[in-house]
Structure 1
Amino acid sequence: MSQRNREGKRGARERLREQRERERARAKRKRTLGVLGAVVAVFAAAGAVGMYASTSADDSGKSGGSVVPPRGAVGKGRLVIPSGKAGKAGKPEKPGKAAPATLTVYEDFRCPGCKQFEDVFRTTVHELQDDGRLRVEYHLVTIIDGNLGGTGSLRAANAAACAQDRGAGAFRAYHDVLYRHQAEETRDVYADNDRLIKLADTVPGLVTPAFRKCVEDGRHDGWVRKSNDVFAHSGYAATPTVLLDGKSVYGDPDKPLSPNKLKRMVLAAARD
């Protein structure tokens, strides 16, 4: 083979190799652009979600964007509204013997299951509280708003926190009024602040200019949202979630809870 032919073949191989390298480079650029496009799309979607969360977090009043715990709230982040003397989960609110048992309740004022629990156990729980045997720690959440839309869970929880500002007794009384007047969960009647204030008028001394302003401004909205966010990451999935001294005692069909059984369990805790 002549020198010219060898050089010609070598040149053709070089051109083919260079062409293949150019094709690989183009393919690599396409892949890179595709990845970058996907990343941009993900960040754009995340931005949209973040914007939605931010908007929904601040859409309800002048004070709703900040976390303002109600007076007397306790626990980590002051997200718990206590009712009764402190038990095993905390310190006494007043001098004297602490309640020997603590009932922890995660609840939503629009939740029909929560109303059922309250209607069945209210009298027993109050009796045990008043006897100094039980402390109840309430965590207010907004599951129904999230599942069905609306703002009634949030508005009612804020109003209940406003009642707590007036004192633990006002909270307990208003808490019970809200459950007694709960509508079907699909009817978002508690989204109406005027209705919440009208119901509060059935609690003697509760409605004052300060209470009205607290409800209308959504003073504790941010606090309610924080409470709901903590619940969403707690491992519990439904309301009501009811714990006695940290142990779940409600909702298991194989171990149904009755008022008498709850009373026996609380009395047993006093003997431990």
Structure 2
Amino acid sequence: MDLGPGRRGASPRFVLPDVSEKNREGKRTARERLAAERAKQKTAEKRRRTLIVGAAVVCVLGLATVVGVVAANAGKDEGKDASGPVVGPSGAGGKDGLVIPVGKEGAKSTLTVWEDFRCPACKSFEDAYRSTIHELTAAGQLKVEYRLATLIDGNMGGSGSREAANAAACAQDAGRFPEYHDVLYRNQPAETDDAFAKDSELIEQAKKVEGLDTPAFRRCVEDGTHNSWVVKSNEAFQKGGFGGTPTVLLGGENVYADQSMTPAKLKQMVEAENKG
């Protein structure tokens, strides 16, 4: 076949791809993938921080911060009726009779402890400071004013905080508050387990305290004798403007907020007040 002048035997022409254009396209695609990955990581990190903050507002474990449980929505009542007359436990004192005192009245130092029996941070505080507090109260150097709140009931639902506080007030009637208080914290259920809402569980725990499991104690627990008193105590906590439980005050100073606080330091502070 005649290919015409100058074309006989000529090789066919091929158009080479634009390599630089391909490189630019590849780089652009890589940048887009990198940007998408960074956006994905940023979203994941934001979600992680949100989860951490969400967990922190329920209850903070350890002595690093004052916020243990958020007070919002606290005080919702479930279970037994709590609208009856306010009946305080035997020996309760302070304003409106909302304080359960432990220790010698003449002690120079006073430790005020706001607690919730369902609060894991309260258990953490008790486990760390229990022996030191017992040592100081036994030596007559410290008086503890226990004040009860029901924040976990409000935030998690249920009535275990209130029912446990009522049972502790019943133990106060029997002269066994310190022992029963410690038993409840040693045997605290998971925060999401409202086991303390059951009378049978609270009575079972009372069997671990010598002389407490009596017909009078059982009747007090089952009737919710001090439930209205517990509600009033929780209202006082809310009105006090405290951030959460536990709130621990020594001479009006919030020692729970002190990140350097230790049992040894607390003991030194109490001994210094006694010497002064």
Q: What TM-score bracket applies, with the shorter chain setting the length? A: 0.7 to 0.9
* Alignment partner, residue 242 of structure 2: 236
* Alignment partner, residue 146 of structure 2: 138
Q: With the length of structure 2 as denominator, give the TM-score of the two structures.
A: 0.71
* Alignment partner, residue 114 of structure 1: 122
Who wins on radius of gyration, i.e. which is larger? 2
Consecutive unaligned residues in structure 1, runs of 5 or more:
1-52, 87-97
1:69-108 paired onto structure 2 within 5 Å: 69-86=88-105, 98-108=106-116
In 2, Cα distance between equivalents of 1:65 and 1:237: 28
* Alignment partner, residue 32 of structure 2: none
* Alignment partner, residue 151 of structure 1: 159
Shift of 1:252: 3.2
- The yes-or-no answer on 1:192 pairing with 2:198 is yes
Q: Residue 79 of structure 2 contacts residue 159 of structure 2 at CA under 8 Å; is this kept in 1? A: no
Q: CA offsets per residue over residues 6-59 of structure 1, 9 Å max, x none?
A: xxxxxxxxxxxxxxxxxxxxxxxxxxxxxxxxxxxxxxxxxxxxxxx99x6585
In 1, Cα distance between equivalents of 2:164 and 2:272: 35
In 1, Cα distance between equivalents of 2:270 and 2:152: 30
Consecutive unaligned residues in structure 2, runs of 5 or more:
1-73
Letter in 2 for 1:75: G
* Alignment partner, residue 271 of structure 2: 267
- The yes-or-no answer on 1:178 pairing with 2:187 is no
Give identity over the alignment, percent.
57
Shift of 1:242: 0.1
Shift of 1:65: 1.9
Residue aligned with 1:250, SS? helix
Letter in 2 for 1:99: A
Q: CA offsets per residue over residues 138-190 of structure 1, 9 Å max, x none?
A: 001000000000000001000000000011xx100000000000011111110
Structure 2 vs 1, CA of residues 103 and 79 (structure 1 numbering), >3 Å: closer, same or farther? same
- Which runs of 4 or more aligned residues in structure 1 lie more than 3 Å from their structure 2 counterparts after TM superposition? 56-59
Q: CA offsets per residue over residues 224-261 of structure 1, 9 Å max, x none?
A: 000000100101120000000111111333xx210100
Q: Residue 64 of structure 1 contacts residue 217 of structure 1 at CA under 8 Å; is this kept in 2? A: no
The number of equivalent residue pairs is 203
Q: Residue 58 of structure 1 contacts residue 64 of structure 1 at CA under 8 Å; is this kept in 2? A: no
Query: Which one has the bigger helix percentage?
Result: 1
In 2, Cα distance between equivalents of 1:252 and 1:267: 18
Shift of 1:83: 0.2
Structure 2 vs 1, CA of residues 99 and 216 (structure 1 numbering), >3 Å: closer, same or farther? same
